[in-house]
Amino acid sequence: MQWIASLSGVWLALLATTFTYLMTAAGAALVFVCKKVNNSAFSFMMSSAAGIMLASTFFSLLLPAMESGAEPKWLILSLGFVLGGLLIIVTDVLIGKFRFFSYNAKKRSSAVMCIAVTMHNIPEGLAVGVACGAAGTGQYAAAIAAVMLAVGIGIQNFPEGMCVAFPLRANGAGRGKSFFIGQLSGAVEIVAGVVGAAAVSVAAGILPWALSFSAGAMLAVVCSELVPESFANGKIKATVGVTAGFALMMILDIAFG
Q: How far apart are the first and last CA of the chain?
A: 14
- Residue-wise pLDDT for 59-107, tens only, equals 877 887 888 777 888 898 999 999 988 987 887 777 666 555 454 555 5
Query: Could you tell me the pLDDT band of residue 204, with boundaries at 50, 70 and 90?
Result: low
In whole angstroms, what separates CA 29 from the centre of its chain? Answer: 19
Residue 40: in which H helix or E strand, if any? Answer: helix 39-56
Question: For residue 26, what pLDDT is reported?
Answer: 94
* CA distance linking residue 113 with residue 121, whole number of Å: 12
Residue 211 pLDDT exceeds 90: no
pLDDT at 138 over 70: no
Measure the CA–CA gap between 245 and 69, rounded to whole angstroms.
29
For the whole model, what pTM was predicted?
A: 0.67
Q: Distance (Å, rounded) from C-alpha 76 to C-alpha 211?
A: 10
Closest CA to 149 of 48, 12, 251, 249: 249
pLDDT given at position 78: 94
45 pLDDT band, cuts 50/70/90, is confident
